[in-house]
Structure 1
């Protein structure tokens, strides 16, 4: 069987039952689906497009393995002829998308799929699953980047993430948003993200003497001496570190920083900084962790807490204040004819579309325009072709490139909010025309 994350059965049942119905009706014309977010969640001024690389990997390898087809046959839901059709199922359509790291807004398609309707339909569930999660996490993580400019930020969230894949992809999304690295080792191997680590309270507790724990860890990890000092008495531990530092220095070992993980972090940081400075150890930094997010970072820095870096995990990797987006994937055209959903509160803008970004004279975002694909418009087009006939177009955009793209856009954010997204008159006219038709 395919690995679970790449299996064609990692989908909703209704995708397969619709495919059976399309097959029975001989519906094979080209469909156009677009992925967008209906509204910004509370506390977000923009979103960051993330997850495209995993989507492209998924559709490139999409197929039904023999044992998956055997399982489907045993369910007695699907005809033998349809299961034979699935044996050679592959995605050979086109994908246009905003580059990963692009800042975007509600009702803007950030990915468009053009393919035979069975292919475009089947990928819906996994596609949203991949885009939604990383976009949610990246859009939360970037708020920490904005709250703590110039500070070291490390993803600490694996242990609280909702599963192994979530932990890995959260590390990726955080790095894309501007974090400096992650504690998740496999993310280093898989994505080339810098990996950071310290020590646990258990290491300190396992030693009879706190100073021995600090010394032995330093001897074991001389190039990365970060000592956790709040297992017992934080200030007493800081004094022990201050006394130990010259001894280690004589052996060529430098204590990089101390870590605080509990209590009043601002108060502890000030006390520890004073102890270290009084001992002439101004070069030892202070790193803090413990249920942090952008709001806590703002409070700590507003209090002038002398903290050099932060480990931020649980609240960001789960996007705890807004754990989901109203992210959808909707049919906008079939067999060359525009389509429009008209459900109350969930109406869509029909047809293939492009998003254009317009800037002020000084380079800030001014407004965006959502237009029909072939409609001329001012501004920079944001949707680019990244897959044609099932094959990638051009070289893959690297995670480092996407990270740079985020960093380049943040200084250009709009001066005033809410941000304006215009729907062109031609697109509005098309929607009104379809609304007049009988269904």
Structure 2
């Protein structure tokens, strides 16, 4: 499947019309999330690297024109004006891992109007999906309060690309490992895993399974103890770990039942065997809400493995994101639809302490004691600098999460943070609004 043709059909029809009308001057689009979903006090920006890779390699060849023509039931020659289009524009964006607020642009793209339109669907898809996942993962990190969190989501995400995004988002948000080998390899990130209940069942009894696993994997070991009865399985695991002298760094995993109670009992059993260094890993339908309850209850769980609910961001699977034209050929434009008003013009986000963000025009002087959040990443179709490392993104996210106001950090009923707009941006918005309204009131405009 071609990434160039991964676009909505109306992007193609609009781009073709723009070319036929000679409308090829620079257009600037903002990508933003208008309002945060319920249960979110903040977002974590993600997906930019995939966008940069896509834009810097974007080129429409004959095979893409044929696909567009087939979709439109038209001769390929009709779409020849699209042939050879490349991305020659500029992108400024919030770096991945940065905490962002509703209503502020995550990305600003400026390019000839037909190309800026054609890339909309891909850009919006990548930023929206990965930002939703990174925001969910960051909340898991906060809920765990310093305990390791690992990604177990591969088997139930909406496709393998989505699973890679989930593993990457977790890595950015502070997870310690993923079960997804391909993602771990691509990211240079630790892979982790234990065994399935089917492994225990295949041997018929737990001790034989644990000893066989130890022969194949000399340690440290993580043994799954809840296939039959967790307490019984923990006793068996403790005997095996002590007999083989592989307790240091090893763990047991509990995947079902009342995890707080089961973990408490398991901790007593392990300690009675002198295995205080053996950790307890919990899994089984966990997300930030469940992790938060377990941590607050004092459950002796050392590692949290989160899967389906985090990998699909089950409580907020979609963001109210938009990619809106804010300037064409130097003319600021805006949308006035009810509940979907957009501010015109190129912008910058100025962050002050306490996440007091001000969205201003790009050419305004900086807000005192602030720092800009949007940075150039592509100029004239060429990537600027080297790609950021995963470590850079993790450190950026961790720093923001540490200083996030308590009301936004809360797992239950967080209070979303809000940005403000500068007086100059508000004045421009009012001026453009008035210009549009005056145009509608002219004779011959249906009034």
TM-score bin, normalised by smaller chain: over 0.9
The 2-side partners of 1:76 and 1:380 are apart by 47
The 2-side partners of 1:188 and 1:101 are apart by 18
Q: Deviations over 1:349-370 (max 9, x none)?
A: 00001110011xxxxx241111
> Do the aligned residues in 2 keep the contact of 1:23 with 1:82 (CA within 8 Å)?
no
Q: Secondary structure at the match of 2:366?
A: coil
After alignment, is 26-35 or 390-399 more displaced?
A: 390-399
> Do the aligned residues in 1 keep the contact of 2:42 with 2:416 (CA within 8 Å)?
no
The 2-side partners of 1:53 and 1:86 are apart by 25
- The aligned counterpart of 1:428 is 426
The 2-side partners of 1:59 and 1:331 are apart by 18
State how 1:389-428 maps to structure 2 within 5 Å. Answer: 389-414=380-405, 418-428=416-426
- The aligned counterpart of 1:234 is 230
TM-score, normalised to structure 2, is 0.93
Aligned: 1:121 with 2:117: yes
| Among candidates 275, 278, 295, match of residue 281 of structure 1 | 275
| Among candidates 142, 150, 153, match of residue 149 of structure 2 | 153
After alignment, is 382-391 or 184-193 more displaced?
A: 184-193
- The aligned counterpart of 2:412 is none
- The aligned counterpart of 2:443 is none
- The aligned counterpart of 2:410 is none
Change (3 A) 1:128 1:75: closer
Alpha-carbon distance, 1:73 to partner: 3.2
- The aligned counterpart of 1:369 is 358
Q: Secondary structure at the match of 2:419?
A: strand
Alpha-carbon distance, 1:412 to partner: 1.4
Aligned: 1:7 with 2:23: no
Q: Deviations over 1:68-107 (max 9, x none)?
A: 3223334555565553333311101000001111111111
> Do the aligned residues in 1 keep the contact of 2:194 with 2:224 (CA within 8 Å)?
yes
The 2-side partners of 1:366 and 1:232 are apart by 49
- The aligned counterpart of 1:354 is 348
Q: Deviations over 1:356-415 (max 9, x none)?
A: 0011xxxxx241111111111311111100100111111211122111100111121135
The 2-side partners of 1:162 and 1:127 are apart by 19
| Among candidates 364, 382, 387, match of residue 373 of structure 2 | 382
| Among candidates 169, 172, 176, match of residue 165 of structure 2 | 169
> Do the aligned residues in 1 keep the contact of 2:5 with 2:67 (CA within 8 Å)?
no
Change (3 A) 1:199 1:418: closer
The 1-side partners of 2:341 and 2:226 are apart by 54
State how 1:45-60 maps to structure 2 within 5 Å. Answer: 45-60=41-56
Q: Secondary structure at the match of 1:36?
A: strand
TM-score, normalised to structure 1, is 0.94
Aligned: 1:313 with 2:304: no
Aligned: 1:260 with 2:270: no
Structure 2 residue ranges without an equivalent (≥5): 408-414, 441-447
- The aligned counterpart of 1:245 is 241
The 1-side partners of 2:335 and 2:220 are apart by 56
> Do the aligned residues in 2 keep the contact of 1:154 with 1:179 (CA within 8 Å)?
yes
| Among candidates 185, 188, 201, match of residue 205 of structure 1 | 201
- The aligned counterpart of 2:323 is 329
After alignment, is 263-272 or 74-83 more displaced?
A: 74-83
The 1-side partners of 2:70 and 2:148 are apart by 54
Alpha-carbon distance, 1:63 to partner: 2.2
- The aligned counterpart of 2:213 is 217
Q: Secondary structure at the match of 1:356?
A: strand
State how 1:49-128 maps to structure 2 within 5 Å. Answer: 49-75=45-71, 77=73, 83-128=79-124
Change (3 A) 1:385 1:144: same
After alignment, is 418-427 or 269-278 more displaced?
A: 418-427
Count of aligned residue pairs for this structure pair: 428
> Do the aligned residues in 1 keep the contact of 2:65 with 2:76 (CA within 8 Å)?
no
- The aligned counterpart of 1:301 is 295
The 1-side partners of 2:172 and 2:360 are apart by 28
The 2-side partners of 1:232 and 1:400 are apart by 40
Change (3 A) 1:125 1:283: same
Alpha-carbon distance, 1:220 to partner: 0.7
Q: Deviations over 1:263-303 (max 9, x none)?
A: 00111111111111111111111001001011111111121
Q: Secondary structure at the match of 1:110?
A: strand
Q: Secondary structure at the match of 1:206?
A: helix
- The aligned counterpart of 2:128 is 132
Alpha-carbon distance, 1:9 to partner: 1.1
